[in-house]
Amino acid sequence: MYIDNVSSTTILEKTDPNPPKSWRQWLIGRPLQTADAPHQTISKTIGLAVFASDALSSTGYATQEIMMTLALAGAGMGAMSYVGPISIAIILLMVIVSISYQQTIHAYPGGGGAYIVARDNLGELPAQTAGAALLTDYILTVAVSISSGVAQIISAFPLLEPYKVIMAVVMVLMIMLINLRGVKESGRVFAIPTYFFVVCMFITVIVGLVRYFTGSLGTVVNPPEFDFATTMGSVTPFLLLHAFASGTSALTGIEAISNGITAFREPRSKNAGITLVWMSAILGTLFLGISFLAGTIAAVPSESETIISQLARTALGGQGLPYLLTIGATAVILLMAANTAFADFPRLGALHAGDGFLPRQLTFRGSRLVYSWGIAALGIIASLLIIVFQASVTRLIPLYAIGVFLSFTLSQTGMARRWWKSGHLKIDEKIVEPGSTIVHERHWMVKMMINGFGAVCTFIVMLVFAVTKFLDGAWIIILLVPVMVSVFFTIHHHYKSLAQKLSLENYSSRPSTVRNRVILLVSGVHRGTLNALDYARTLGPDVTALHVSVDHIEAEKVRDKWNTYGEGVRLVILDSPYRLLVEPVLGYIEKINAIRQPNEMMTIVVPQFIPSHWWENLLHNQTALILRFALLFKPNIVIVEVPYQV
Amino acid sequence: MYIDNVSSTTILEKTDPNPPKSWRQWLIGRPLQTADAPHQTISKTIGLAVFASDALSSTGYATQEIMMTLALAGAGMGAMSYVGPISIAIILLMVIVSISYQQTIHAYPGGGGAYIVARDNLGELPAQTAGAALLTDYILTVAVSISSGVAQIISAFPLLEPYKVIMAVVMVLMIMLINLRGVKESGRVFAIPTYFFVVCMFITVIVGLVRYFTGSLGTVVNPPEFDFATTMGSVTPFLLLHAFASGTSALTGIEAISNGITAFREPRSKNAGITLVWMSAILGTLFLGISFLAGTIAAVPSESETIISQLARTALGGQGLPYLLTIGATAVILLMAANTAFADFPRLGALHAGDGFLPRQLTFRGSRLVYSWGIAALGIIASLLIIVFQASVTRLIPLYAIGVFLSFTLSQTGMARRWWKSGHLKIDEKIVEPGSTIVHERHWMVKMMINGFGAVCTFIVMLVFAVTKFLDGAWIIILLVPVMVSVFFTIHHHYKSLAQKLSLENYSSRPSTVRNRVILLVSGVHRGTLNALDYARTLGPDVTALHVSVDHIEAEKVRDKWNTYGEGVRLVILDSPYRLLVEPVLGYIEKINAIRQPNEMMTIVVPQFIPSHWWENLLHNQTALILRFALLFKPNIVIVEVPYQV
């Protein structure tokens, strides 16, 4: 009993605590009560598995995409020596971003995604832009990760190549289902394979490095053919920037933890912050190791065998069990990465919806306390994307990462602005924002410079990405984000103007309804009609029966029977020379409507025969349905279907 | 004013005589008043065009299908000498059928299709069987005629071959549209080409015969290749019967006039009878002429050039203007033939529906006084059939004609039975049947023998057809007709039991409703809710407001606001720990329902917000819709959506 001062007119009832069972329960588990929610949080160890898999898994394709860009430009395999320096530049960028986000996590213990930070500090437009960018990016995370995961599997089992699209789609739907069951269980499901991947990759890299330094590593045996026709070019600054842009996909997912702080156990910020440090360290080490070794063994970027596969079989000595375990672990973590997006996309969607920028349904938590609508939407859109791009990582990658860097930029700018405000507060002053409260901070200037530097760096990277990859597909995102933002604002306008129109402010002198005019439609006089007549008479004293006559003989019959059974209620017969049914009724209502007094209601009662089987509806007119649509937009007219079951 | 003794409680209103204009009017013409109906009849000359085109047009393919059957069996071109004798046998059969139908037309001036004759004289099952057989056959008439028409066009313009299916479908839809405009106009549209075809064909046949007898005819130059692989066989009795069965397609359509008697001007029967004689005479002459000449010129049955085309270019001396005119006329009359089916199928459908064996919508006449539903159904099903059979006459023909002969048999049997009854009546006695009245007839025995003989002949032909063409596709119809008949009886059972349940017989002691319990669903307290509350209070004094709480803070707000604005109406708050909306409401209703007194009604009032744009509905829950479905089958519960327009 949460409402303690129940007024005399209020009754509080508890509904049955045992919800009904159904096929959905079998599929996604038993329903959880709202009161169960706070317990659904996770430890650092599981948090790393849930939120870091996206970032870590990008080692599965980031190196490959740098090499692919260099190779596609036809710069020759000599250009592969740039892979190392490019990777180092990317890791530097990662360090900058990680430090920036560390500050965000501590400033926003309630969850500090780019959306919230931008909303609190920069305003609605930047916030919606950041949100739109991130939402597109989460979708691409699913599409890219799953496609890369399938590519790993195909590297080991080339016979599966024709089935790659269908495999990818099935995997997306499987992960969707797991997420509909709820975050805690999916965290547990994913913890073991994530750590298994980390161990496998470290073994591969360490063995590779040891063999390199002992001189026994050599190069790839039977490397795949480079399967793209290219024109011969040379290494230009543009090409290097292009390759760098491809590699920045390694940074996607690094923001996941700051969005999901509330999922961590208390103390949330500290646990989340430590997890972020661990994640960055592992990611940086593995990415650098892979990039270095890939160059050393002269791996060839290809759609038929991944760089990871070439590295693993070279370092681990052929396609034995160690190779298979490593490839398996890589494939699995890529699938897990999609899970990160399934954790964050619905949460961000719910934030947008809560602020009235997306359909409110996205804020509803399903029977398992997860945002079911968001999860389902992500699964479906990502599947479509995979089908359109035929599960090709190289074709998907130009759409990826630009959104992330846009949101990085907005988020860091917002944080910088926040420190600026903080610095200008007196010791006791505070500014209360929806996301967090700003108080005076001692080192605000240093913190502002850190976030400011992060903002500048990520902004430059975003520009580089947009320019170098514009024609490859980045234009789609550059076009899509503004469209999404304007849709968000249209939705927002709708909710805002609706709330205004429904508002009870300045609502005092309400003239009450004086009269309810009831019109009963009569197609023939039978038990169903008399049942409806009974009902119509309970609605008020002013009842008129209305019959549309397309057949004079039929009309005579109705009149005669009505005289017997109509209980003295007035019957109006409308002659319909064109055999129309709905139009004469509408005309009559229009006429009555014109002479109606203010606040007089009109109720149209339609006897609705409910057959025992759905197909039997095909054997009857659906007059009530047509009337409902025709009268939907007329004020003060209500249509009542009185069901008559046989 | 057709109701002269208007009672005190009855008001008769005439609706606006000018119906609203719309896109449909542009497509199918201005609406016609019911009173216009009797004028929509046709003369003998137009009647021949409308009802005879089916029968006459079968000369376009009947000879070809006889030859095709002989050729497919691999009996060699020598077997073609049997084409003549087979054709003579078919014409004899035609004479028998025509004489039989002549008697039907005079006995049934109100329309004497197989359905009515079987219904009046044999009972419901034979009638439904005859109807089902005819309905399938009308569909095939459309498919076969249009396919053959397209084949003629392709004979002249072989380049169009790849487009034959799409051409055929477009033609079906065009004819459908013409028929939706109404029978009189379509009659006029079709009269000229029908007579043009008759003239063209007679010229071709006469020129051919003259040249044959003067010895200048010769054989086909460059005949088409026979394009089917066959094994060599010999001429067996089975083969001859098979070929005969193929040729009986010439008789399809001969029953059209007897179905459509009411479309003729008075004296109907006489006019219809004369038209039938003319039709049979023209059909017989042309068919025999074509069959004779086709053998003489050594024409080759083929999918790439029709027999008519080979005959026309041989008789008329090459592919000049006379040839093109003849082929054009043949193509056009075949398209007209489809029109016969469009005149008869909807009329037969309306008969079935009027007797309660098909959905009642088929009896409604549209704005142009035609049975729009039947016309549309025929157009769509025939189009699908053409697509499935790829517009091939040879593949469609085994499904054709068996239905016609089944209905012939039932119709003649019914007529024989009728004469038998007539013979056993006294001079002044009469039996009133729905279709016609039986009185004593002088020559009843002769008439009975004529119809009896017809019945036996058509029955044998039907058996021959079923056996020889069973594997070619006749099995589909043999399977389909019983299925259709059982569907008809299922529908009939539905209407009959419904009428019984709705009947007012034994309906006297009706306890009247004592009370209307009103439940108002409240998701939040706003102008829309208060509008609905106003309405709910007009329905009766017993109003309860119901709020489902998924959020305690929200529920508090609702309670507080209700205390201010709720006008003292009782508010029940249902706690929903699983965040469900509909289920708690259903549970509450269930509970109230259990303690309800007999004849107490329950009304659920749902405030329904009506947005200005349809897409805005996506931004709101459709609770009312879900509730409606959930409560549809519960007796004495009415759902009212009170619209609130913003």
Contact of B113 with B258, CB cutoff 8 Å: yes
Of B2-16, B36-50, B131-145, B293-307, the least confident: B2-16
Tens-digit pLDDT profile for residues A34-89? 665 555 677 888 888 878 888 888 888 999 999 888 887 765 666 778 888 999 99
Q: Do domains B48-491 and B515-645 have the same CATH topology?
A: no
Tens-digit pLDDT profile for residues B51-96? 888 888 888 899 999 988 888 776 566 677 888 899 999 999 999 9
Q: Is the pLDDT of residue A16 over 80?
A: no
Residues of chain B neighbouring A534 (CB-CB closer than 8 A): 510, 512-513, 601
- Confidence at residue B618, expressed as pLDDT on a 0 to 100 scale: 72
Residues of chain A neighbouring B539 (CB-CB closer than 8 A): 516, 538-540
| Domain parsing of chain A, residue ranges | 48-491, 515-645
CA-nearest residue of chain B to A18? Answer: B578
Q: How close does chain A come to B77, measured CA to CA in Å?
A: 52
Q: How close does chain A come to B224, measured CA to CA in Å?
A: 44
Burial of B567 (0-12, 13-18, 19+ CB in 10 A): middle
Closest CA to A141 of A52, A66, A70: A52
Tens-digit pLDDT profile for residues B311-326? 999 999 888 899 999 9
Q: Does B367 touch chain A (CB under 8 A)?
A: yes
Residues of chain B neighbouring A494 (CB-CB closer than 8 A): 611, 616, 619
Q: How far apart are alpha carbons A622 and A628 in whole angstroms? A: 10
Beta strands in B210-279 (DSSP E): none
pLDDT band per the 50, 70, 90 thresholds, residue A7: very low
- Confidence at residue A183, expressed as pLDDT on a 0 to 100 scale: 54
Scan residues 569-608 of B and list those with Cβ closer than 8 Å to A.
Answer: 569-580, 583-584, 587-588, 601, 603
- Confidence at residue A145, expressed as pLDDT on a 0 to 100 scale: 93
- Confidence at residue B577, expressed as pLDDT on a 0 to 100 scale: 81
CA-nearest residue of chain A to B17? Answer: A577
Residues of chain A neighbouring B543 (CB-CB closer than 8 A): none
Percent of chain A residues topping a pLDDT of 70 = 88
- Confidence at residue B235, expressed as pLDDT on a 0 to 100 scale: 78
Residue A397, phi-psi category: left (phi > 0), alpha (psi -120 to 50), beta (remainder): alpha
pLDDT band per the 50, 70, 90 thresholds, residue B2: very low
Scan residues 414-443 of A and list those with Cβ closer than 8 Å to B.
Answer: none
Give the phi and the psi of residue A641 in degrees, each rounded to 5: -95, 120
Scan residues 3-22 of B and list those with Cβ closer than 8 Å to A.
Answer: 3, 7, 9-17, 19-20
Closest CA to B492 of A615, A623, A619, A608: A619
Partner residue opposite A645 with nearest CB, options B20, B570, B635:
B635
Tens-digit pLDDT profile for residues A186-197? 566 668 888 899
Contact of B613 with B603, CB cutoff 8 Å: no
Q: Is the pLDDT of residue A2 over 50?
A: no
Tens-digit pLDDT profile for residues B210-263? 999 998 888 888 888 776 655 566 778 888 898 899 899 888 888 888 877 887
Partner residue opposite A575 with nearest CB, options B14, B20, B580:
B14
The helix (run of H) or strand (run of E) holding residue B638 is: strand B637-645
Q: Which whole-number Å values give the CA distances from B562 to B526, B539, B556, in the listed order?
A: 10, 20, 10
Q: What is the mean pLDDT of residues A443-471?
A: 91
Q: Is the pLDDT of residue A287 over 50?
A: yes
- ipTM for this prediction: 0.71
Instruction: Give me the amino acid identity at A24.
Output: R
Tens-digit pLDDT profile for residues A303-343? 889 999 999 999 998 888 999 999 999 998 898 888 878 87
pLDDT band per the 50, 70, 90 thresholds, residue B386: very high
CA-nearest residue of chain A to B9? Answer: A570
Q: How far apart are alpha carbons A92 and A145 in whole angstroms? A: 23
Q: What is the mean pLDDT of residues A147-175?
A: 92
| Residues with Cβ within 8 Å of residue B568, at least 6 apart in sequence | A9
Q: How far apart are alpha carbons A279 and B295 in whole angstroms? A: 90
Q: How far apart are alpha carbons A360 and A354 in whole angstroms? A: 7
CA-nearest residue of chain A to B572? Answer: A11
- Confidence at residue B8, expressed as pLDDT on a 0 to 100 scale: 44
Contact of B302 with B226, CB cutoff 8 Å: yes
- Confidence at residue A3, expressed as pLDDT on a 0 to 100 scale: 39
CA-nearest residue of chain B to A558? Answer: B10
Instruction: Give me the amino acid identity at A518.
Output: V
- Confidence at residue B4, expressed as pLDDT on a 0 to 100 scale: 38
> Across the interface, do B577 and A35 touch by the CB < 8 Å criterion?
yes
CA-nearest residue of chain A to B584? Answer: A15
Q: Is the pTM of this model over 0.95?
A: no
- Confidence at residue A637, expressed as pLDDT on a 0 to 100 scale: 85
Tens-digit pLDDT profile for residues B397-428? 889 888 889 999 999 999 999 999 888 888 88
**Taking chain A, what is the end-to-end CA distance rounded to the nearest angstrom?**
43
- What radius of gyration do chain A's Cα atoms show? 32
Averaged pLDDT of chain B: 84
> Across the interface, do B642 and A638 touch by the CB < 8 Å criterion?
yes
Tens-digit pLDDT profile for residues A596-630? 777 788 899 988 877 777 777 777 777 777 777 77
CA-nearest residue of chain A to B543? Answer: A9
Q: Does A76 touch chain B (CB under 8 A)?
A: no
3-state SS class at B263: helix
Q: Does A618 touch chain B (CB under 8 A)?
A: yes
- Confidence at residue A4, expressed as pLDDT on a 0 to 100 scale: 38
- Confidence at residue B582, expressed as pLDDT on a 0 to 100 scale: 81
Q: Does A568 touch chain B (CB under 8 A)?
A: yes
- Confidence at residue B143, expressed as pLDDT on a 0 to 100 scale: 95
Q: How close does chain B come to A633, measured CA to CA in Å?
A: 7
Listed ranges B10-14, B97-101, B619-623; the one with the highest mean pLDDT = B97-101
> Across the interface, do A498 and B550 touch by the CB < 8 Å criterion?
no
- Confidence at residue A5, expressed as pLDDT on a 0 to 100 scale: 39
3-state SS class at B197: helix
- Confidence at residue B24, expressed as pLDDT on a 0 to 100 scale: 61
CATH class of B515-645: alpha beta
Partner residue opposite A34 with nearest CB, options B577, B616, B639:
B577
Tens-digit pLDDT profile for residues A482-505? 999 999 999 999 888 888 888 877
> Across the interface, do A562 and B20 touch by the CB < 8 Å criterion?
no
> Across the interface, do A10 and B503 touch by the CB < 8 Å criterion?
no
Tens-digit pLDDT profile for residues B556-591? 989 999 998 888 899 999 888 877 788 888 888 888
Q: Is the pLDDT of residue B46 over 80?
A: yes
- Confidence at residue A11, expressed as pLDDT on a 0 to 100 scale: 67
| Residues with Cβ within 8 Å of residue B38, at least 6 apart in sequence | none
A3 vs A543: which has the higher pLDDT? A543
3-state SS class at B36: helix
A48-491 maps to which CATH number?
Answer: 1.20.1740.10
β-bridge pairing B600-610 and B515-521 = parallel
